[in-house]
Amino acid sequence: MNKKSPKGNGLFAWALYDWANSAYFVMIQTFVFAAYFSQSIAENETSGTALWGNMIGLAGFVIAISAPFLGSIADEGGRRKPWIGFFTLMCVFGCGMLWFAEPSTDFIWFALIMAFIATLGAELSFIFYNAMLPDLTTSLTIGKWSGWGWAMGYAGGLFCLIIGYFGFVEYGADWFGLNESSLQNVRITFLFTAIWYALFSLPMFLKTPDVPSKNKATKQAISDGMKELKKGIAYLKSEPNIWKFLLARIFYNDGLATIFAMGGVYAAGTFGFDTGQIFMFGIALNITAGIGAFSFSWLDDKTGSKNTIVWSLVGLIIPVVAVLLVEAETWFWVWGLLLGIFVGPVQASSRTFMGRLAPQDKRNQMYGLFALSGKLTTFAGPIMVGWITLLMGSQRWGMSAILLLLVVGLGLMFSVEEIQGTSKEKVPLTE
């Protein structure tokens, strides 16, 4: 495919996968199921917070150790869509099965296992999804399309939450005869999430071009992938800017991941949000996050990925401090929504930065290491929150771990150099 004339339909379909995938993160990991689990399945909110944090942490550990291997194997095999398809189906299955997680302590382990499966699918699919972007666009527009992809994700999350709340939680009993005493009106949203993900992922599979297969046998691709992974790790030694960036991302992405994993639990436990309020907060947060991701996408292409990441981290740290200190629910809304503006730009510009840093023949591998940096210690953040919450008897103390992770990540980003092609100079993507 000619990079100078990327196919608009393929790019839009690629971005639409973000719309599909976001359903898992807003409905399962962050707002709805996480709060449902801690309030209605676990024995109490404190133990629920700890169990949920441990599950997310374990999933992060599995993703961290498998992502680089999967990326290297995919580089040797060529095509990315089969990998995305497999992990998409895994997430769809896990989300759909959560319909059967009834509000009883008898379903604690079933709920955690199904959520664990869904988490692996949603996260691992993004290794190969992210790696597609540099082959679909150019250095002049990669920041824009990365940002638009995240914006599409937040828009998808927004509409998914709106339909989930008004279509099922609020009026599900009247419209569909759902039993509110067993919380069927809430549980149906998990099945809805599975259908949403499956449906809106289809355009990417049908319209977005994939790199050709290298026609290697699976066993040979695995063997060659392991060899290339060793070379890739050795390659990082000669590219200090890449490993410095990945090191910084380990910390600030842990902070972001912990916000997503524990945000709904925090709103429910500390500010007493019920299911309806969590839905409404999620809707509002996705609006501000989408605005931020879309707006900052232009800044990335003009001033550089590093600058966008740094200023966005500053924009995150200030509201996080405020959210940990405020007592009034109104101020939680104000600072929480302001925080949302800076979430998307950090994620989108990180993806862009890696796309510009990675050599063309190592993109899956580098995005595997990128996923590793995003998951290597993500189990630590939620586990820290869970255990500090238990020890201190306070979610505020537990959530303060997020602030530490963001500050360390910001400090490390100052040692990373902006690279050629991520600022005003117009050069092709790294070959």
- Tens of pLDDT along the chain (431 residues) come to 344 444 455 888 888 999 999 899 889 987 789 888 988 898 887 788 778 878 887 887 888 777 777 766 666 666 788 889 999 999 999 999 999 999 999 999 999 999 999 999 998 898 788 778 777 776 667 767 777 777 788 788 888 888 988 888 877 777 887 888 889 989 999 999 999 999 999 999 999 888 766 666 666 666 766 666 676 677 777 777 888 888 898 888 888 877 766 666 777 777 777 777 777 777 787 788 778 877 776 777 777 788 888 999 999 999 888 888 888 888 888 888 888 888 878 887 887 888 777 766 666 667 667 766 666 666 677 777 777 777 777 677 777 788 888 999 999 999 888 765 444 433 334 33
The answer to whether position 4 is within a domain reads: no
**195 CB contacts (<8 Å, ≥6 apart)?**
96
Domain count, the chain: 1
Its pTM stands at 0.71
The answer to whether position 430 is within a domain reads: no
pLDDT at 224: 66
The answer to whether position 424 is within a domain reads: no
**What dihedral do alpha carbons 420, 422, 423, 427 form, nearest 10°?**
60
The answer to whether position 70 is within a domain reads: yes
CB 63 within 8 A of CB 124: yes
- Retrieve residue 23's tokens: 């359903």
The answer to whether position 86 is within a domain reads: yes
Residue 338, SS3 per DSSP: helix
pLDDT at 139: 64
CATH of the domain at 268: 1.20.1250.20
CB 309 within 8 A of CB 412: no
DSSP 107: G
pLDDT at 2: 42
* Amino acid code (one letter) for 196: W
pLDDT at 364: 61
The answer to whether position 268 is within a domain reads: yes
The answer to whether position 428 is within a domain reads: no
Q: How far is CA 371 from CA 27, 127, 232, 261, 394, in A?
A: 22, 6, 14, 17, 31
End-to-end CA distance of the chain: 15
Range of the domain at 223: 9-207+216-413
C-alpha span between 23 and 66 (Å, rounded): 23
